[in-house]
């Protein structure tokens, strides 16, 4: 992600993204989980004239947009199979590129990417000119092939046509070169579209401040890891981490330094985790970790190592040395666990126990004494 996005507030970052999307030469339509239109960029308005006016209407759904693109009213039964086919492709989340032949003779290339929230990212490219050029090339090759076959059988009588055949061959070669260039341009457009898709996917699944998994993506991958572990009879561990006295850092040094402290802690956590461990930001200064294929003892050692790495690596801000610590709650997969939220809930309870017991420590599910002391202290303070 570009560095300027991480430092900008969300409204400015969204405005920059919308401005960038309006500059691309691919038509973009964003749908919500109900298949209603969230956003239409400038290029789609050019591909489908008048659609930008439709976008202002509340409740505009994808079917209405397709019917408008087909220049057909909803009651026009001749257009229903065409509209139904496109609607079915998008509803099914079919990610394979699909060619769409519009009733007005234009040809579009549609790519659909499902979003984690159930919505859709739709990319449209007008390939009418490319299709027309390909058809011209095919016709030219067919013509050249017929002439060459005829020449083989009538060589004695077609000598006078040699110049004519040469000119046809030259035209066919020129058409072939044009087709090759058109294919190159189409491949470039597809590569640019895939890069844009990757950027949109990253925005939808990562935390803009730290670059790690956001809450929704972390829960989805964590649930997948839990189900995989249950199928194979393995265990997993879950950490909940919280930066101690984070509000004091914000109050004393300001929110920019607070953001820097969050990124500093994330860097320490990343360095202490394995490649297959999941790390996500689930709150302002709260983080969660999923460690697959690990024993209870190993999970405890890793939690202590993470805690020490943060404690022994203060943030240097000019002449100020900002010492940071974290509290960690640890939970292990139980036989009855079906959802990642169950492990996170127990790990969160352990986190509260660690904070109540004095912070800068690890509290696990088997720390009964620590738990009892922590909750008693928490009740007395409240």
Q: Which residues are catalytic?
A: 285
Contacts of 304 (CB under 8 A, 6+ apart): 362
State both tokens at 85.
């086919």
Q: Tell me how far apart the alpha carbons of residues 332 and 337 are, in angstroms, rounded to a whole number.
A: 10
Q: Tell me how far apart the alpha carbons of residues 210 and 214 are, in angstroms, rounded to a whole number.
A: 9
- Count how many Cα atoms sit within 13 Å of the Cα of residue 343 in the half-sphere of its side chain: 28
DSSP string, 288-301: EEEEES--HHHHHH
Using alpha carbons, select from 67, 118, 126, 80 the residue that is nearest to residue 100.
Answer: 126
Q: Tell me how far apart the alpha carbons of residues 324 and 314 are, in angstroms, rounded to a whole number.
A: 6
φ, ψ of residue 320 in degrees (nearest 5): -90, 135
> 326 with 272: CB under 8 angstroms?
no
φ, ψ of residue 113 in degrees (nearest 5): -125, 115
């Amino acid at each position: 992600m570009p560095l300027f996005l991480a430092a900008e507030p969300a409204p400015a970052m969204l405005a920059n993204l919308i401005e960038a999307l309006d500059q691309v030469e691919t038509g973009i339509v964003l749908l919500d989980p109900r298949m209603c239109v969230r956003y239409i960029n400038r290029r789609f308005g050019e591909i489908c004239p008048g659609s930008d006016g439709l976008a202002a209407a509340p409740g505009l759904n994808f079917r209405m947009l397709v019917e408008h693109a087909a220049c057909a009213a909803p009651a026009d039964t001749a257009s229903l199979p065409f509209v139904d086919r496109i609607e079915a492709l998008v509803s099914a989340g079919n990610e394979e590129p699909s060619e769409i032949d519009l009733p007005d003779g234009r040809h579009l290339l549609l790519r659909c990417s499902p979003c984690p929230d159930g919505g859709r990212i739709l990319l449209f490219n007008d390939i009418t000119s490319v299709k027309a050029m390909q058809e011209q090339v095919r016709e030219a090759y067919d013509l050249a092939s017929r002439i060459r076959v005829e020449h083989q059988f009538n060589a004695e009588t077609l000598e006078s046509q040699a110049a004519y055949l040469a000119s046809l061959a030259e035209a066919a070669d020129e058409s072939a070169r044009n087709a090759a260039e058109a294919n190159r341009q189409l491949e470039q457009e597809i590569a640019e579209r895939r890069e844009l898709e990757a950027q949109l996917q990253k925005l939808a699944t990562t935390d803009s401040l730290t670059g790690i998994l956001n809450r929704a993506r972390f829960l989805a991958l964590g649930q997948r890891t839990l189900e995989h572990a249950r199928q194979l009879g393995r265990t997993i561990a879950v950490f909940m981490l919280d930066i101690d006295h984070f509000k004091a850092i914000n109050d004393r040094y300001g929110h920019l330094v607070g953001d820097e402290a969050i990124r500093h802690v994330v860097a320490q956590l990343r360095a202490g985790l394995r490649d297959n461990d999941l790390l996500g930001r689930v709150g302002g200064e709260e983080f969660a970790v999923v460690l697959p294929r690990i024993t209870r003892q190993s999970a405890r050692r890793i939690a202590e190592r993470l805690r020490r790495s943060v404690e022994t690596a203060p943030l240097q801000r000019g002449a100020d040395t900002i010492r940071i610590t974290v509290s960690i709650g640890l939970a292990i997969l139980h036989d009855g666990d079906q959802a990642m939220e169950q492990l996170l809930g127990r790990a969160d309870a352990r986190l509260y126990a660690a904070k109540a017991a004095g912070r800068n420590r690890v509290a696990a599910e088997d720390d009964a004494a620590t738990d009892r002391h922590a909750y008693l202290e928490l009740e007395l303070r409240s």
